[in-house]
Structure 1
Amino acid sequence: MTPEQFIQTWHKKNLNEEQGAQAHFEDLCTLLGVPKPRDLGHYCYERKGALAEGRTGYADVWKDRHFGWENKAPGENLNKALDQLKRYASALHNPPLLVVCDRERIEIHTNFQNYPTEVHRIGLLDIGTPENLQKLKWVFTDPDKLKPLKSSAAITESAAAKFGAIAKAMRAGETDRNKVAHFLVQCVFCMFAEDENLLPSGAFTSLLSKVTQDPDRAASRLAALFKTMQSGGDYGDIPVEWFNGGLFKHIDIPTLTQNNLQQLHSTAAEYDWRAIDPTIFGTLFENGLESDERSQLGANYTDTETIQKIITPLINEPLLAEWAQVKAQIIEHKKTTKSKGKKASQEVKAIYEAFQLRLSQFRVLDPACGSGNFLYLALKALRDVERFVSIEAQELGLAAELVMQTGPHNILGIEINAFAAELARVTVWIGDIQWCQRNGEPLSSRPILKPLDSIEHRDALLTPEGQEAEWPQADVIVGNPPFLGGSKKRGELGSDYFDALAKAYSKDRVPPGADLVCYWFDKARIAITNGRLKCAGLVATNSIRGGANRTVLDAITRDTHIFTAWSDEPWVNAGAAVRVSLICFGESTQAPLLNGSLVGRIHPDLTAGENGNADNDLTLAKVLSSSQGTCFMGSSKKGPFDIDGDMAREWLLEPNPNCKSNALVVRPLCNGLDITRRWGDRWVVDFGTSIPLSEAAMFEAPFTFVNAHVRPLREKNNRDSYRKFWWRHAEARPGMRKALSTAFRYIVTVAVAKHRTFIWMNATVLPDQATLAIAREDDSTFGILHSRFHELWSLRMCTFLGVGNDPRYTPTTCFETFPFPDKLTPADTSHQQTESVDGVLIPAQLTDTASNKARSIAVNIAKSAAHLVKTRDNWLNPPDWVEWMQSPEEAAAGFPKRAVAKPGHEAELKKKTLTNLYNARPAWLSMAHEAIDKAVATAYGWTDYTPAMSDDEILKRLLALNLIRATTSAAETSAYDKETDDDTNQGD
């Protein structure tokens, strides 16, 4: 069939819908050369869809994953046909295309998830153009070809960027930034309402086009439009609906310029504002704020699939499970009831209405709602549940409800920033209107925007009087509380607020060193235990699994349980990639789900356990007194005390008025990069822990440098001690210095690194705060620390940082909980008690009093460790590539020699790093570690150890040993109690 024949056949053919629909469709298939519908299950006529208004509905034609098709007689209202098809869409697997046709017109409406709707209209007389024939063929063969070029997210991001530029320009002429923000939110809603036909077409865009040259007139007319939207009525000769909802309660137009108005008009005209994605719009709109406010708000942009990992187990799954029970009850009642006729129908209806009331009264609270993306997705989930329930209820013979029971009244929020709270309301309003439009549900009316006073603008943690704030009662809590590290809280929040938090929330509930997000977790736990909440799902950085942060998860698993968790997910916070944990806890009958897999239970560190079995619950581990006072965080400078090697060596040559060498206050520095890469010839000015200002000034060059570079910064610091003793490092670690004072070497590792590696460091080198110093000299301790057993333990006891998700080693959690082999604990291996045996250092007491077996075990570990160090050092610094340099002054001070590349080997030597070595992990390195593992396993008495032994088995054995040794609760507290001090003092 040719296009001309098709047009001639169907032009002005007087047939009703039933007479002409299928014949028209089959002729269209012939024209396009595509198969005709057959009863194949996936491509057919009369596909049963949703039930509408108490009767069964059918899509006239349906092809799975392609389209739903609704036919009408010529001249009928295709919008009604489209609404009808939308109501069927979910039962039709949400086809990507919705097509309506009256034989004179074919309209193709795109329906792709997370993409805007586009409409392709094809008149019968134009059907033969190559472009139209191609579009129609794609409907049958390749619907993705009709997918809009830009996703809703991309359009939203572009629109928000435009508004950010407008906001910046408007703030230049208006001192009240909140006035600008409120006005722009009103403008955004007007653009959306106009494109959704809630405002008459052109009401807003035409207004702007007519007044771009007259800012005063523009302000007057915009105020008049907003006032009319506030209560409804006529705007000139244009009828305007009653919008209300609080958005237009306050009308205060900021100072406008011609440029502002031109930008607003072009932005309104450029975009189809129906396509705005409500899940990200508010957050992106916040980017129009100044950068300092964005930081304060903790703005983030995360895909809806990630957020659904919280919404689904808290809302969709439990409510649908409840409905399944109600549905079974209705079916059983129909089977067994003795009532007949009207009475039986009323009894079934009462059962159904009780569940509808449950949906209507269901409350979702986000107590840190930001711009409302969690709230909108929660509302969408409730709407989706009700729609699904309605379809199934009608299949049971129950009448469809005229009005949906769920809506914005189900949503509660708390937000400390007034602008973000307003954005949250707009996000919910826009999102709900979009949901209704796309699902063929009638919109709210009289007013269109129901009040959303339930989204409150206030502090979620403290009242103005400094007391703990109360939250409204809810069924579930969802949200993404602000990410703010424990060590940064005082600086970001201010000392007064920080102290008020500590006063309102005891350290047993939330330690002062915990991240800010922990307060939300704890308050949700309290609400659950008090019966004011059933369950909660919150986002936190993945560091909540350990340290002071884990205190709140310990309490949660004590008082209730974690039923769904994703321990380590990517996230974007304030434009930066981070790693987070998603945690759902509270009352739930769902089987525990960890990272998408069913488990027996979920431990506080978000690892899996077996029901009734605590053998692998490392959160039970205790700090061991035998390991304390050995591992220290390096010196925290809090100022630019660093200098390069050339300057340091010049200073070593200079005299001082006190006749003392600058080597006493200038020394080599070791930071994380010096370990993972190569030493960068970094040095540091170090006036120790007690040198007074008058004595420090006697070291002229170093003091002059610190006075010029450090003092101006430190005098602005919030901490009194940092300001008062500005010439010293902020946290100089006197305990560490004392422990290292008699050593000739110590063991050092990087606090945060991909690989857990240890190296020997000359005791004259100062460890930086990014490193951990272990005050031991013996090779046996080095070998134990570099064994598989200690690495596994540290990886389970550590926290993780950054987008690289690198493990963070801490003295308390990783070192002081680790159970060393008997007779080789840190208590057995102090500096003053080491002796050389066969060229390696072992604890001296093993040469004096221990059995030959214990001494032999220690020597074997030490030799294996020494072999690892020697071969590793040979790889890092090949003798043919390196020469070792040292000035006479460096030698006199005992400073170590420096490895310098021989000419021609500079580029090659740069690649010789520990990170590169352990990334490659050559066979010789693996064998060296296996030798250490075998020797250390012998020290534990594990005669059955092989490299094939599972990690879980090793950790179970180590935990059992830890708990056996932890006999006195006073000295050996919880593995994480002391982390508060560690985190607070690190100061970064």
Structure 2
Amino acid sequence: MNKNGADEGAVGDTLATDAFITKWQGITASELSTSQSFLIDLCALLGVDMPHATAEQDYMFERPITFAHGDGSTSAGRIDLYRRGAFVLESKKLRQGAHTRGFDDAMLRARSQAENYARALPAAEGRPPFVVVVDVGHRIELYSEFSRSGATYTPFPDPRSHRIALADLRKPEVRDRLRRLWTDPLGLDPSRESARVTREIATRLARLARSLEQAGHDAEAVAQFLMRCLFTMFAEDVKLLPRDSFRELLTKHAEQPDIAMRMLAQLWRDMDEGGFSAVLAGNVLRFNGKLFKQPDTLPLDTAQLTLLIEAARADWKHVEPAIFGTLLERALSPGERHKLGAHYTPRAYVERLVLPTVIEPLRKEWGEAQAAAMTLAAEDKPDDAVKELRRFHHRLCTVRVLDPACGSGNFLYVTLEHLKRLEGEVLLALDELGYRQTGLALGGERADAAAGETVDPHNLLGIELNPRAAAIAEVVLWIGYLQWHFRTRGDVHPPQPVIRDFRNIENRDAVLAYDRVEFELDERGIPVTRWDGETMKVSPVTGEKVPDDTARKPVERYVNPRKAAWPDADFVVGNPPFIGNKRMRTALGDGYVEALRGVWPEMPESADFVMYWWHHAAQLTRRGALERFGFITTNSIRQSFNRRVIEAAMAAPRAAAKPLSVPTPSSVPTSSSFPTPSSAPASSSAPASSSPRKRGSMDVAVDPPSAGSRGTNEQKEQPLSLVFAIPDHPWVDSTEGAAVRIAMTVGATEEISGKLHESVDEEPITDGEMAVRLNARRGTVNADLTVGVNVNSASKLLANRELAFRGITLVGAGFLIDRAHAAELGAFEQGLAHSYIRPFFNGRDLMQGSRDVFALDLFGLEECEARDQVPAIYQRLLDRVKPEREQNARGAYRKRWWIFAEPRSEFRMAMRGLNRYIATPMTARHRIFAFLDGAALPDQGLVPVAHDHASVLGVLSSACHLAWALASGSRLGVGNDARYNQSSCFETFPFPNLHTADKFASPIGVALVDETGRAGETQTYGEYPSDRIRHLAEQLDAHRKRQQAAHPGLTLTGMYNVLEKLRSGDVLTTKERTIHEQGLVSVLRQLHDELDEAVLYAYGWGDLLPLLRIGHGNDTPSEGQTRDDAKRAFDEAILERLVALNAQRAAAEARGEILWLRPEYQNPDLAREREPEQTSLAADTTKPGEPDDDTTPTAPQPPATKPQPWPKDTVDQVRAVADVLATSPVPLSLDEIAARFTARGAWKKRLPMLVEMLVALGRAQEKEGKLSAV
């Protein structure tokens, strides 16, 4: 037999395997020593490296781990065997006592312990894709979680075959699976290989579709024909049709395409009805559904039939439904086919939302049912145990999951697969209890319409506007369902009909219902049209591209518009379209947007399109019509214009919303913070404290339920909680295949601690997918998707009003000119034109270097005045701006075309009398503030602050304000850059009152820096912090400008990138060292450090300096602390104090005590003589290191609660005990748990057993006789 090396190897493997099985079969020695010996032998058998202890602890026995408990305590544990990035392995512990009938308690405990170990691993290591449970001498169990996001590990590859008996090791494929567990664990993810196969298949279909369309066939007819073809190919590959029958039919008539198509049409009729098929000369199953109701074929030529035969040769049983729908839609859509090679949304990304939205709450219920069944089985009540499991199975088979923007069905398919996995576990548990049911098998299939029940596509509901995508979604669900059937049931055919027309995918709009769409007519009865928003032409005057005014499309009117109803469902999950509020009219049309906003009047007009889905789902959840919902949105959901929708949903319901009433400052004391301590009574010129409520401000009251919802108006509405959120995550837009940044949110009314996942590391894998390492935090998730201090609860302060603005919005590229054209138009001459040509800055100019461009600013001139006074400028705008503006949807932009779209008159008014102002980019990696010349106009990408005092610049540039801006702002774009919103970041920020802050004990000396960057003489400042802040801020601004002037290629981004690396202690590259020398970045660092210190002293918070110095890399962290830990602690402490200070300032302002930032502009009648007392926190009077008696922490105690009645039903008892543990801030003893309930009889006797089952299932943990939730 030894003809080659392969035969010798096979024989050697067989002998080694037999020896291994002989040695270990039935071993029952002590767990620790036996387990390690067993695993060493297993490694030798598989030919993988042996475990070995290293400093990294990445592959070893007895890997130490630390558990953090909810009460702040920690405990130690040890993983039996750990391999980083691969698995956590736990061996079964031998235990005393009887074995629970039908359940292996020890293996359940080992699995739960392994999952707890995986969750407790340091975030830097990430979650392993596998947990492995070993019963030495008997079996190995595999559980996987390929999204690696902390979700539940499920049996791998499925509930039928996740258990590997010792004898199974004789199978080469089993040994290979275990070997790859060590060497290539992620390669075991079946979706990876199937994704490659699916791409190849979609490419073949695209070629055939293109050929058919080029032959003149309608694209929709081609799509329907090919969908029937592909399902037939899938059917023969999974043996629903005789093997190769479809291919042989086509090949036999390859030279006679017309005969082949006629026979194919007959085959499809036979498949629809079932029975004998003359085409195949045998019986065929009854497929039914609606796919073959119209068995139309297309006339193919020989070449096209050859393409179809090539497509049929692919192995269709291995397509990946999670991405097949997207690729199929691209392949069958002429307008989308060019995107076939683009990236698709990875399955792991979809799972990251589906699991916490749908599967985790169902698994929680499953754990409760399992614990109840185990308790009943232990009490020798097997029939009752079966009843509990069957009851949960019925719940699972009747659950409804809706995707109201389902596209081609990827979210629905992933949900279906996980429901089937869970069903498999339920049926396995029933099987182990010896239960058999007619029509119910391990795979969960129905025998006929009446016998048994199962999870199948009827559980998944969808709404989709695109008819082709809706049809594809149905096909995808059935392919996925049938794949699962054959994966778990082998060659056993599913019950007939094979597919059913459940009508579960609706082809309609999900947020707007209407009777019909009509064209808007003018007074003459002629349809009103507008520019199509896309087509351009070359201007005969300028030679530049301008809108083509002949490319028109009609303006639509929606008749009888109303809110769209959603079908009854338990869960909602999906990925609604990414259309920002500014793009809605262009993408959807004016008529649609007007109708949409008309029927959803409570929605802010500034809200993105996706928020209509979010708001609708939140309403249904608050009324109890939904259990949970989860959506993908762009990460701008954290910005104020979208966040208002979330805040309204999270607020407690009330009968009617009242506008906030703040007393208007009138003849009451006010004060000033900058630049002098002068004060006077406020006058009517002060900014209004509140404005009339505008359309779209989110009141808490919600609309009555729409038709089709199960909620009733009589139901008490509950405030929404965010139970899961990822504020920023990479994503692949399935429509464009483009990389974007998104947020995930899951809403429910459950009173549980939310979970926030934050991306800490991202590495590219393949096909646009990023391996994302997430760090989880628990607590109340705020509306801005943060945990901890709710910065967005801060009030806008009158003291900061009317100083920060959005920059200029042009809407017309012709407004901008370069220096040469500016000279031609008289910008640098003494003349009238000079005042209308102004330097123009955007964020890139500030951060990367000026483009040296100018804007033609005719603000304040009427059209006739502009033509008369500056005709050359007027003509340029006439030729280059007017054609574009004439096509704009906004009438004001069309009418006043020579003026900037948003000229910011308020900003211009605030700039009167100022020679400079402060500016910061709206979106940037580094939050930098700098002075700009008063003549320069800021683009909309800049946030200008109309203040010329360096003290304001200094405070804005400090670590205090940086922490506030990052927490109250948002992030934007693929680069995930911080976004500064003047409303939430500036207007809420409580500046220190510099002139009444504590004086320095002695004058402060700071070494001045000369023009070469060298330290020179020491300047002594005054006794107030404002003196030091002002001088440091002036030096900071001058230093940056001086170095950039000396080195034209030097950018602020480059300087601050290097500053970031200096603080982290990383080694600089050659390029970075050059930037360091050119920018004198160490000097820059020193200026910022001293500025941060001065601002802290101005607040009176010098006790935070040690944390700040460690966070900046200036001091060494204490043992067990990192620089990031210190920075995080500093930010949290600063935010907590600033939020408290904001509340105090808001209360003072309500009394009329206002610390104006710029009183001579904000309140010119200010003439108060006395200074106000500094608003300060109570903590300000406590010296650093001195304990505060009022805030000294005490050990948490179990809360005193009124005992609740002990439930009668076993599963309700399990749920009640689990809830008590989950809501307790401290671990509880059995007696303390029992004290939470009241009942008569011997109910307490069951409590220890219930608790033991919760521990075995990983729902609870025991430490020193106390129990707590996991």
TM-score, with length taken from structure 1: 0.76
What's the CA shift string for 1:737-760, capped at 9, x where partnerless?
222243211111111100011121
Q: Matches of 1:503 and 1:144 in 2, distance apart? A: 50
What's the counterpart of residue 929 of structure 1?
A: 1088
What's the counterpart of residue 465 of structure 2?
A: 416
Q: Matches of 2:274 and 2:795 in 1, distance apart? A: 67
Q: Matches of 1:871 and 1:5 in 2, distance apart? A: 73
**1:346 Cα deviation (Å)?**
4.4
Q: Secondary structure at the match of 1:264?
A: helix
Structure 2 CA distance for partners of 1:358 and 1:734, relative to 1, 3 Å: same
In the TM superposition, what are the counterparts of 1:954-969 in structure 2 within 5 Å? 954-967=1134-1147
Which amino acid letter does the alignment assign opposite residue 960 of structure 1? A
Choose the corresponding residue for 1:746, options 917, 938, 946.
917
What's the counterpart of residue 633 of structure 2?
A: 540
What's the counterpart of residue 602 of structure 1?
A: 781
Choose the corresponding residue for 2:513, options 440, 463, 468.
463
Q: Does 1:775 align with 2:916?
A: no
Choose the corresponding residue for 1:392, options 419, 422, 429.
429
What's the counterpart of residue 567 of structure 1?
A: 727
**1:255 Cα deviation (Å)?**
6.0
Task: Confirm or deny: 8 A CA contact 2:847 2:1053 kept in the other structure.
Answer: no
**1:141 Cα deviation (Å)?**
10
> Comparing 792-801 with 288-297, which one deviates more in the overlay?
288-297
Q: Does 1:585 align with 2:759?
A: no
Q: Matches of 1:491 and 1:537 in 2, distance apart? A: 27
Structure 2 CA distance for partners of 1:36 and 1:673, relative to 1, 3 Å: same
Q: Matches of 1:671 and 1:518 in 2, distance apart? A: 30
Q: Does 1:363 align with 2:400?
A: yes
Q: Matches of 2:374 and 2:434 in 1, distance apart? A: 11
Task: Confirm or deny: 8 A CA contact 1:59 1:85 kept in the other structure.
Answer: no
What's the counterpart of residue 868 of structure 1?
A: 1036
Task: Confirm or deny: 8 A CA contact 2:798 2:1149 kept in the other structure.
Answer: no
Structure 2 CA distance for partners of 1:149 and 1:412, relative to 1, 3 Å: closer
Task: Confirm or deny: 8 A CA contact 2:354 2:415 kept in the other structure.
Answer: yes
Which amino acid letter does the alignment assign opposite residue 381 of structure 1? H
Task: Confirm or deny: 8 A CA contact 1:744 1:763 kept in the other structure.
Answer: yes
Which amino acid letter does the alignment assign opposite residue 573 of structure 2? V
Which amino acid letter does the alignment assign opposite residue 577 of structure 2? P
Task: Confirm or deny: 8 A CA contact 1:85 1:98 kept in the other structure.
Answer: no
Q: 1 or 2, which has the higher helix percentage?
A: 1
Structure 2 CA distance for partners of 1:802 and 1:255, relative to 1, 3 Å: farther
What's the counterpart of residue 581 of structure 2?
A: 486
Task: Confirm or deny: 8 A CA contact 2:103 2:374 kept in the other structure.
Answer: no
Task: Confirm or deny: 8 A CA contact 1:632 1:736 kept in the other structure.
Answer: yes
Structure 2 CA distance for partners of 1:62 and 1:877, relative to 1, 3 Å: farther
What's the counterpart of residue 1235 of structure 2?
A: none
What's the CA shift string for 1:931-961, capped at 9, x where partnerless?
2122222322324341515111100111111
Task: Confirm or deny: 8 A CA contact 2:139 2:163 kept in the other structure.
Answer: no
Q: Secondary structure at the match of 1:948?
A: helix
Q: Does 1:651 align with 2:829?
A: no
Choose the corresponding residue for 2:322, options 275, 279, 286.
279
What's the counterpart of residue 453 of structure 1?
A: 503
- Unaligned 5+ residue runs, structure 2? 25-34, 46-90, 93-101, 105-133, 144-155, 446-453, 515-559, 652-718, 758-774, 997-1006, 1010-1019, 1063-1080, 1109-1129, 1153-1270
Structure 2 CA distance for partners of 1:6 and 1:800, relative to 1, 3 Å: closer
Task: Confirm or deny: 8 A CA contact 2:994 2:1025 kept in the other structure.
Answer: no
Which amino acid letter does the alignment assign opposite residue 484 of structure 2? W
Q: Does 1:324 align with 2:367?
A: yes
In the TM superposition, what are the counterparts of 1:255-294 in structure 2 within 5 Å? 256-269=300-313, 271-288=314-331
**1:488 Cα deviation (Å)?**
1.5
Q: Secondary structure at the match of 1:944?
A: helix
Q: Matches of 2:911 and 2:183 in 1, distance apart? A: 75
Q: Does 1:755 align with 2:755?
A: no
Q: Matches of 2:481 and 2:754 in 1, distance apart? A: 32
Structure 2 CA distance for partners of 1:312 and 1:699, relative to 1, 3 Å: same
Structure 2 CA distance for partners of 1:362 and 1:572, relative to 1, 3 Å: same
In the TM superposition, what are the counterparts of 1:889-968 in structure 2 within 5 Å? 909=1050, 913=1054, 916=1057, 918-920=1059-1061, 922-946=1081-1105, 948-949=1107-1108, 950-967=1130-1147
In the TM superposition, what are the counterparts of 1:359-758 in structure 2 within 5 Å? 359-399=396-436, 401-402=440-441, 403-404=444-445, 405-440=454-489, 442-464=492-514, 465-507=560-602, 510-558=603-651, 559-573=719-733, 574-588=736-750, 591-595=753-757, 597-609=776-788, 616-641=789-814, 642-652=816-826, 661-688=832-859, 690-692=861-863, 695-696=866-867, 699-758=870-929
Which amino acid letter does the alignment assign opposite residue 353 of structure 1? R
Q: Secondary structure at the match of 1:524?
A: helix
Task: Confirm or deny: 8 A CA contact 1:213 1:258 kept in the other structure.
Answer: yes
Q: Matches of 2:970 and 2:455 in 1, distance apart? A: 41
Q: Matches of 2:278 and 2:1039 in 1, distance apart? A: 85
Task: Confirm or deny: 8 A CA contact 1:375 1:428 kept in the other structure.
Answer: yes
Which amino acid letter does the alignment assign opposite residue 311 of structure 2? T
Which amino acid letter does the alignment assign opposite residue 501 of structure 2? P
Which amino acid letter does the alignment assign opposite residue 599 of structure 1? R
Structure 2 CA distance for partners of 1:310 and 1:912, relative to 1, 3 Å: closer
Q: Matches of 1:820 and 1:969 in 2, distance apart? A: 14
Q: Matches of 2:872 and 2:168 in 1, distance apart? A: 78
Q: Secondary structure at the match of 2:431?
A: helix
Q: Matches of 1:109 and 1:944 in 2, distance apart? A: 61
What's the CA shift string for 1:839-862, capped at 9, x where partnerless?
99xxxxxxxxxxx99983322211
What's the counterpart of residue 303 of structure 1?
A: 346
Task: Confirm or deny: 8 A CA contact 2:964 2:985 kept in the other structure.
Answer: yes
In the TM superposition, what are the counterparts of 1:850-889 in structure 2 within 5 Å? 856-878=1024-1046
Q: CA RMSD in A?
A: 4.3
Task: Confirm or deny: 8 A CA contact 1:579 1:803 kept in the other structure.
Answer: yes
Alignment length, in residue pairs?
Answer: 835
Q: Does 1:30 align with 2:15?
A: yes
Which amino acid letter does the alignment assign opposite residue 151 of structure 1? E
What's the CA shift string for 1:770-789, capped at 9, x where partnerless?
11111111111111111111
Task: Confirm or deny: 8 A CA contact 2:921 2:943 kept in the other structure.
Answer: yes
Structure 2 CA distance for partners of 1:316 and 1:459, relative to 1, 3 Å: same
Structure 2 CA distance for partners of 1:198 and 1:462, relative to 1, 3 Å: same
Q: Secondary structure at the match of 2:327?
A: helix
**1:730 Cα deviation (Å)?**
1.7
Structure 2 CA distance for partners of 1:971 and 1:468, relative to 1, 3 Å: farther
What's the counterpart of residue 89 of structure 1?
A: 161
Task: Confirm or deny: 8 A CA contact 2:376 2:382 kept in the other structure.
Answer: no
TM-score, with length taken from structure 2: 0.60
What's the counterpart of residue 155 of structure 1?
A: 197
**1:87 Cα deviation (Å)?**
6.5
Q: Matches of 1:396 and 1:461 in 2, distance apart? A: 47
**1:418 Cα deviation (Å)?**
0.9
Which amino acid letter does the alignment assign opposite residue 445 of structure 1? P
**1:301 Cα deviation (Å)?**
2.8
Q: Matches of 1:384 and 1:172 in 2, distance apart? A: 44
Q: Matches of 1:757 and 1:27 in 2, distance apart? A: 68
> Comparing 908-917 with 143-152, which one deviates more in the overlay?
143-152
In the TM superposition, what are the counterparts of 1:330-349 in structure 2 within 5 Å? 330-336=373-379, 346-349=383-386
**1:542 Cα deviation (Å)?**
1.6
Task: Confirm or deny: 8 A CA contact 2:1021 2:1027 kept in the other structure.
Answer: no
| Identity level (%) | 33
Task: Confirm or deny: 8 A CA contact 2:721 2:751 kept in the other structure.
Answer: no
Q: Matches of 1:678 and 1:955 in 2, distance apart? A: 33
Structure 2 CA distance for partners of 1:34 and 1:144, relative to 1, 3 Å: farther
Q: Secondary structure at the match of 2:935?
A: coil
Task: Confirm or deny: 8 A CA contact 1:546 1:605 kept in the other structure.
Answer: yes
Q: Matches of 2:157 and 2:422 in 1, distance apart? A: 19
